A and B are shown apart, each in its own frame.
Chain A
C-alpha cells in the first residue's frame, strides 16, 4: 500500500478529532488489555515462557540460513514448492504466475499482513483476478477499500453501524427490509456471502504464523475458521510468509503458541490452530492439490545483525499496540502504512525507510508498556530510540529540534557556561512568573504550553543547591 507515514502528525490530528473513531477505540481500550491480563495471570509459567520463547527465536535467527534450508528440504519432501522472493514485486509476480497456471479467476484469502505489505489485492485486481478477503474484519475493510487499522482486528476502527452501512451499500441484492441491526445478523450475512466464495475459489492464499523446520509445515492461527476454508477448498494453497517465521520444532512452536493467543486476544488458545504439510495425499477426499510457499525477504535480512535484529522475533500478536497510549489515542490508520503501534514504529522504518516513516519512532511516550507485555520480550522503546539516533545522524529531524539539541549540546559540554545560562534563565523566568507561579504561554515552548502550563522556576538552580549541600 501507498504509505502516508510521512503525514503522521496530520493523520493523528484528524484521528484525535474524529468522534466516530474515538468511540470505536473505546472498545479496544476496554477489551484487549483486560483480557490479556486475565489470561496471563491464569498461567503461572507465563513469564518463564516469555524468556524461553525469546531464546527459541534468538537461536533460530542466529542459525536462520540453516533452518530455512532444512525447512525447504522438508517442504519439497512433502510434495510442496518453495519460492524464494527478495522483494514485494517478486512475491507478487510469483503469486500471479501460480494463479495463472491454475487458471484462477477468484482467489480467497486468509488474513495476511504480508499480503498487505506487498499490496497483493490491488495487484491481482489489476491483473483481472478477484481477491476475496475472508476474515470478517478484512472483508469489511476490503469492501470499504480501506487498509487494516490493527494487525489482528483490522476493522477495530469501525462501529457496528459502519459495518451495516457498508453491507447495505455493497451487497446490492439485499432486501431493504432485511434487518442488520445486530452483530449476529451482520456475521450471518457475511457468512452466507463468503461461503459461496470459498466454494468457488480456484486458489486460496493464507499467511503463516510459523514455519516449522523439523517438518516443513506452515501454521495458521485463526478464530473464524476462514483460513482453513481458504486453504482446504481450492485446488491450490499458497502460503505467504516472511523468512523470519521459521522455528525449529513442533515443541518450540507449542511453547510460542502458549503465548500468542493469550497476548493477542486473551484467549487460552485460539479456536483454530492448523498445521499444514504439503498438498493432498493419495486417497485424501479433500485438501489442495498444490501447496506453494512464497518465502519473502523484503528488507528482513537487512535488519538481521543490526540494532533492529530483535524485531525479527515479533509474532504479530498486537499486544504492544493494544497497550500503547499513542495507538489507542490515534488508531492504526494514522501510522500511514501496514504495521501500526510500537511494533510498526520499529518495523516500518526498517521496511520503507526512515525518511518516509521518521515520525513513527517519535510517536511514543516511552512509557514502556509495549515492552512489558511483548511475549517475545522485544525491547521496542530501545529500538525506537535507535531510529531517533539514526534520524539525528542523518539530519532528518525537524529543524527546531536539531537547533535546540545543538544549542543544548554546546552548553552541556561547557559546564561553566551551562551553569551561567541556567542561573540566568531560572532567575529571569522565576521573576517573570512570580505572581502566578506558572506560564500559560512561552516563546519557543508552544508545543508544551499549548496543552499544559509550564511551572515557573522557584529559587535557585539544582546545581547551586547541590553545591551548597555538599559544602555543609
Chain B
C-alpha cells in the first residue's frame, strides 16, 4: 500500500469509529465500561448448548455417525489403527476409485501400517488440483451435526480438504465431542500449549460439497469433494496424551495473543 492510501485509511478509520460513537450517543468506552467486554472475550462463556449431545460417550459417538450419514458422509468404524490401511483400500476398491492418495505430512498418520497395503500409492504434501483422493487427520468430530473440524498447519495443508474428488478422514473415537463449544476449548488448549493463537484456517466440514443452485436440485461435488469418507478408529488418538481435555465453559488455556 502507498503512504497516501495508509493516510486515507487512518482518517476513514477515525471517521467510521466516530460515526459509530455519535450514533450510539457516547465517546470511546473508558476502562470501567470496557472491563465487562474484556472479560467476555477472555472468558468466552458458552451460551445455551442444545441438549441433543447431552448423553454418554458411546451414544455421542453413535450420534456423530448418524448425523454424518444423514448428510451423505460415509463412515467406516474400525477396531484399531492396524485396521485403517485395509479399510482405506477396501473403500477405494468398493467405489472403483484410484488408489493414488495424497496424504497430509502429519506424523500422526505414520501410526497406521501402510506398508501392509503396497498397492496404495501414497505421497505426502499439499494437493495441486489433480489428485483423485486425499487422506487427512482431523482435529475433532462434532456429534451435534456430524461435522468434522480440521485445522491447518505445516503438517495439515488445507488444499487436501477441497481439491481432490474424494476426501478420506481418519478420526479417533476420543476426538468426537458433542457440541462445537467443547471442540473450541480443545482447540484453544492445543494452540496455547503450542504457544500460538488460532490456526490460519479451521474448516468445519459437514458432508461432501453440494449445490442446489439449479432448480434447488441437490447435487454433490459442486467444487469440493464429491465423496467424504470417515474411517472412525475406536480408542484413543495417538495425540491424546499431548492434549489437555477442554470442557464446557471457561478454558484454562492461559493468555492468547
Contact = CB atoms under 8 A, between A and B. Distances in A.
Given A183-B219, A243-B16, A305 B23 contact: yes
Nearest to A291: B200
B91 interface: no
Contact of B204 (A27, A195, A274): A274
A34 to B, nearest CB: 11
A11 to B, nearest CB: 23
A24 B215 contact: yes
A140 B5 CA distance: 35
A271 B209 contact: yes
A286 interface: yes
B108 interface: no
Nearest to A191: B223
Contacts of B216: 27-28, 31-32, 153, 156
A310 interface: no
B24 A305 contact: yes
Interface string A347-377: 0000000000000000000000000000000
B237 interface: no
Contacts of A252: 47
A4 interface: no
Contact of A65 (B17, B157, B224): B17
A40 interface: no
Contact of B215 (A27, A69, A83, A233): A27
B21 interface: yes
A244 to B, nearest CB: 10
A43 interface: yes
B239 interface: no
Interface string A263-292: 001011111111111111111111100000
A283 B154 contact: yes
Contact of B48 (A49, A265, A270, A281): A49
Contacts of A52: 47-48
B203 A274 contact: yes
B168 to A, nearest CB: 16
A122 interface: no
Contact of A228 (B9, B154, B157, B162): B162
B158 interface: yes
Interface residues of A, number: 108
Contacts of A305: 23-25
A232 B200 CA distance: 10
A68 interface: yes
A101 B6 CA distance: 14
B49 to A, nearest CB: 8
A302 interface: yes
Contacts of A119: none
Contacts of A66: 28-29, 34, 37
Interface in B28-72: 28-29, 34, 37, 40-41, 44-48, 50-52, 67, 70-71
B213 A135 contact: yes
A63 interface: yes
Interface stretch (A211-219, A416-424, A445-453): A211-219
A45 B50 contact: yes
Interface stretch (B78-86, B93-101, B111-119, B145-153): B145-153
12 contacts: A27-B215, A66-B34, A90-B12, A225-B209, A249-B44, A251-B184, A254-B181, A271-B224, A280-B200, A281-B199, A286-B158, A301-B19
Interface of A: 24, 27-28, 31-32, 43-45, 48-49, 52, 56, 62-70, 77-78, 81, 83-86, 90, 94, 97-98, 101, 134-137, 140, 153-156, 158-160, 163, 183-184, 186-187, 190-191, 194-195, 198-199, 213-217, 223-226, 228-229, 232-233, 243, 248-252, 254-255, 257-258, 265, 267-287, 295, 297, 301-302, 304-306
Given A69-B17, A183-B215, A287-B152, 5 more contacts: A155-B213, A183-B219, A187-B222, A287-B157, A305-B23
Ranked 4 nearest A-B pairs via Cβ: A225-B224, A283-B154, A224-B222, A137-B213
